[in-house]
Structure 1
Amino acid sequence: MDSNRKTNDSPVPLEAKEHTWMVKGAAGAWPDIYSLFREDTSLLNRQDFITGFTVLHWIAKHGDSRVLNTLGYGVQKSGLSFNVNAKSKGGQTPLHIAAIHGHKNIIRLLVKKYRADVKLRDTAGKKPWQYLSDRSPEILQLLGAPPRAALIEEVGSAEPGWKPPKPRQGLRHHISSASSGQRPLTVAQMVKVSRSSSVAQFFKQKSQHRF
């Protein structure tokens, strides 16, 4: 064993207080977070070395807007500010995380009060609005989604230049026939009609040729 190594060295590459800050944030232990922030305000925007999350990411994940308001008050009083656009290891901002978990009040606060950038993309190339499962017009507009986004069921499928495919001619005929009360022809009936038409045309041509 190396005699020069300190006996109190930790295998975690964080200071004890910073490690506690990260653990309490992940657990949603907000009274402890308030106390730690009062002791050391420099913890505010520290990022976890594994996930890249700040405490604001964890607040966005847990979705308690009261926590954001309470901590935000202390942050403002200390003359500091959240790094609202901090990116995790996956390139996700707190706004991405709030959208993924559907926390609308957090989304409103991040955008309206803290001016989060709605245009930032994560490493998957997605903006926050593309993670929404509940696509209410208000939240879509708040996140800068294109107008057609509310009409598209699949998340993230509204790409630039996207247009709904046109129905084929045969499909339109089938639909119009069904809507008018007529039963669509079966394959056998269509073949029969085709043959009948061909025979009739043949005799017509023979008749004209004779006269």
Structure 2
Amino acid sequence: MSKTMAINAGSSSLKFQLIEMPQETVVAKGLVERIGLDNSIFAIEYGDDQKFELVEEIATHDRAVELLFEHLTELGIVKDYHEITGAGHRVVAGGELFKESALINDEVIQQVADLGEFAPLHNPAEAAVMRAFKERLPEITMAAVFDTSFHTTMPAVNYLYSLPYEYYEKFKARKYGAHGTSHHYVARRAAEMMGKDVKDLKIITCHLGNGASITAVDGGISVDTSMG
């Protein structure tokens, strides 16, 4: 059966889930943290509550991906990592360029890296992980899902700051929003729980985690959000 990898790369971390399709069954999940430090941690859960943890120096995100592929086979989670036929990568900043998810190719990877000026702690790491996956599994389909895409429907009156307009023209200084995939899901889930069509509702959605933001959702689209 085919498997898909869900990837969330941070500045010094890599979260992952391996999902068997089409049942959407999680067969493994884990985390690499403290990337770039001597005491990095690679941890994975799989099978029947089985766990594996490794503490060693993991200098780069490329090395983190290498360890992931090594242990998927060594632990018997997959016979061959070519069982993985797709991957989805969460990307923090899509700027004004990505209004929806995008299939990943070399051009998209470079664009994600270039958008690092808007998310310097995240986008470079996300681009590095995309490259690492593409090098090892060049034949698979990969998609980038952007936190900012949901908010590209905001009107200018809401996304522009009270600053000289030339700052936006020269530097693209504006509100881009965050946690878009979460707000998109929550709005639709709330409508479902209320038994209503999301297009008929005006909803305030809240994302509460290490970062927090709220969004005004009108008819299923983002019209304003609290995070720049």
With normalisation by structure 2, the TM-score equals 0.24
Greater RCO, CA 8 A, separation 6+? 2
In terms of Rg, which structure is larger? 1
**What's the TM-score, normalizing by structure 1?**
0.25
- Larger helix share, 1 or 2: 1
